[in-house]
Structure 1
Amino acid sequence: MSGSAVLQFPPPSASQGARWLHEKLSHYTDAWDLAQDLANGIREIIVLDVRSTEQYLAGHICGAISFPHRTMTHESLLPLDRDKVYVTYCDGIGCNGSTKGAWKLASAGLRVKELIGGLDFWLRDGHPLVQGEEAGRWPTQSRARDCGC
């Protein structure tokens, strides 16, 4: 190729690309899409904050349930609803807690997605947090701005 660093490795065919990108979107969600579903009261998803209990108490996504990945065991995952899709998150891209939690959930036969960028990207997008033990509810008016995507 013409010395292009981008084209040093040619892109896949359109059909290969479409399959791979579909697969990628099947594994992840972003803050904007999650916020939209929470605001719309979508009940098929459950958001799990997989950080420590102390971090959860300091601030978590509205409606998220505290379930630290370090406490996830075969036994502790048994009561979870197999009909739901779980969205795991941790601090952000420098933390792999959401991946560890997602792996444990998937290994237990549950459907799961990870939140891209975790709490860091959630806050960057201007979405609300709740403090304390309660999961909290989505506010009637969110301060989040449209991401333009």
Structure 2
Amino acid sequence: MTTLDAAPRQADAAAIAHFAAKLRYETDPSDVDAALRSGRPGFVLVDTRGAAAWAQGRIPGAVHLPTRDIPDRAGRVLDPAVPVVTYCWGPGCNGSTRAALQLATMGYRVQEMIGGFEYWAREGLPVESDDGPATRPADPLTAPVALPACDC
């Protein structure tokens, strides 16, 4: 049962704050792709998965920084002045959330890419692996197959 009533209401400050915070700290594959394609994304994309996952497939241009390595390597591979976007496997994995939390406690400005690598690939966006680049067809359950973006 929902806690929302059907009557029209004034602007709900708590709801506005909640959704504004989500957009401040989360992004999605379509928006990340558009930013990367612009050539000036304004962030560094960080793949927080382990070596086997990285070898299997990753987002082109991502920096490989597994969550467990953040305390030792972040200062060497990330510029504190450049915002970070983290991703992991997908919605069933909270690795990118843990990585984002670690980076935030270290003073980095960070967002998490919701959907992770799974939804990046399922939306038909380019991936690369140790075998080279690839693009999979968009999954019609996650993205419109006739458009280059989610159009939302």
Counterpart CA distance in 1 for 2:147 and 2:86 is: 20
Counterpart CA distance in 1 for 2:30 and 2:149 is: 8
Counterpart CA distance in 1 for 2:149 and 2:119 is: 14
Deviation sequence 1:46-68 (CA, Å, 0-9, x none): 00000001211111001101100
Counterpart CA distance in 2 for 1:84 and 1:77 is: 12
Deviation sequence 1:56-91 (CA, Å, 0-9, x none): 111100110110001121x42223211111110010
Q: What is the 5 A alignment of 1:8-27? A: 8-10=3-5, 13-16=10-13, 17-27=15-25
8 Å CA contact 1:87–1:113 kept in 2: the answer is: yes
8 Å CA contact 1:69–1:100 kept in 2: the answer is: yes
Alignment TM-score, normalising by the size of structure 1 = 0.81
RMSD (Å), alpha carbons? 2.4
Counterpart CA distance in 1 for 2:147 and 2:130 is: 21
Partner of 1:77: 74
What fraction of aligned residue pairs are identical, expressed as a percent?
Answer: 33
8 Å CA contact 1:50–1:69 kept in 2: the answer is: yes
TM-aligned CA distance change 1:133 to 1:105, over 3 Å: farther
> How many residue pairs are counted as aligned between the two chains?
136
Q: Greater relative contact order (Cα 8 A, min sep 6): structure 1 or 2? A: 1
Partner of 2:111: 113
- SS of the counterpart of 1:42? coil
Deviation sequence 1:104-127 (CA, Å, 0-9, x none): 100100010000010111112110
Partner of 1:94: 92
Partner of 1:51: 49
Partner of 1:145: 148
Task: Note the residue ranges of structure 2 that are not aligned, 5 or more in a row.
Answer: 134-145
8 Å CA contact 2:65–2:73 kept in 1: the answer is: no
